[in-house]
Chains A and B, each alone.
Chain A
Amino acid sequence: MENIVFDQIKKEIASHDVVLFMKGTGVFPQCGFSAAVVQTLSEMGVSFKDINILEDQTMRQAIKDFSQWPTIPQLYVKGEFVGGCDIVREMAETGELAQMFDAKGISHSKAA
């Protein structure tokens, strides 16, 4: 079972440049931490694939095991785990997030 979900995760992060595993959707986040990451990405003009783990209890546990990360949201860029809410916020503040998007060829509108 786990392998099937892991394959599903691998497929998602391979087929979309920016993937956010979150509670709720990009339009309607259902948790403050997920909303914070959505806001950061939106402010930077970065489009992303949202995956609502509240709609899939198997995925909800599997993504934690897959990333070895106990909390949601989780941001993946070009198949690589970037971090959760705290790391994304810190990277946005220091400008590292914009640098990473540049380095990975992800278009964004803001240099912050």
Chain B
Amino acid sequence: MGMDAEHIQALIVQGIPDAKVEITDLRGDGDHYAAHIISASFEGLSRVQQHQRVYQALQGRMGNELHALAIQTATPE
């Protein structure tokens, strides 16, 4: 169970090519992560829509083998 941070990062970048992704393993247990994702493609989208784009990139893993991923999204300054 669980996913490693590189795999999560790779999936997000695959789905959102311009994304700058920073993954933090919150407890060092390979199961609770936080992702900070910056992408120009989030421009004009609501927070819900931005997070939905990230979930799409994760291809159904969120809520399954990826139990806990706190997501924060932003557009480039």
Contact = CB atoms under 8 A, between A and B. Distances in A.
Contact of B51 (A33, A87, A91): A87
A52 B60 CA distance: 23
Contact of A87 (B47, B55, B62, B68): B47
A79 interface: no
Contacts of B44: none
A102 interface: no
Given A86-B70, A90-B72, A70 B48 contact: no
A87 B63 contact: no
How many A residues are at the interface, by size bracket?
Answer: 10 to 19
Contacts, number: 31
Contacts of A70: 55, 60, 62-64
B63 A86 contact: no
A56 B6 CA distance: 35
B14 interface: no
A83 B48 contact: yes
Q: Which of B47, B52, B60 has the most CB of A within 10 A?
A: B47
B10 interface: no
Interface of B: 47-48, 51-52, 55, 60, 62-64, 68, 70-72
Across the A-B interface, the 3 shortest Cβ-Cβ residue pairs: A70-B63, A70-B62, A71-B63
